[in-house]
Amino acid sequence: MINGKKNWYQRHTDSLAFGQRLADSVATGMGSWRFIIIQTIIVAVWMLLNVVAIIGHWDPYPYILLNLLFSTQAAYAAPIIMMAQNRQNERDRAQANEDFHTNVEAKKEIEELQLRLNAIETDKLDKILALLEKLDKNS
């Protein structure tokens, strides 16, 4: 926050509803190495327990229940990830828009500075010419 004003990202983040924040968190979690490693461990333990279980193979090979769980996870994960990607597109558009406005303001300031420098240059040249004319009259 600069001078009490929020930047475009803070305004965008503040405008998100609970569901949007949740979807972003889920998508961030599912797109991490931590999630992949934990899921791999769970699958390995699931398979190991079903292979060596002395009593009650609750999901014997070909692990139909495990496949059902993966299908359910994928059915929910895909739309959640797509929602997060849509919001990323919105953030990118907001950032591009802010960058454009910043560039327009900077261009205006640069043009103002050029006009001021030209005025200073013209003023200096006028003074030099006046001094030269003065020297020319005195000689």
Summarize pLDDT for 107-119 with one digit per residue, the tens: 999 999 999 999 9
For residue 38, give the H/E element and its range: helix 33-52
Q: What is the model's pTM? A: 0.60
Q: How many CB atoms lie within 10 A of CB 27?
A: 19
- List the chain domain ranges: 17-138
* 29-82 pLDDT per residue, tens: 988 999 999 999 999 999 998 888 767 788 888 899 999 999 999 999 999 989
Tell me, what's the pLDDT at 10? 81
| pLDDT averaged over every residue in the chain | 89
pLDDT at 54: 67
Stated length of the chain: 139
Greater confidence (12 vs 83) lies with 83
Task: Compute the distance between CA of residue 65 and CA of residue 44 in angstroms, rounded to an integer.
Answer: 14
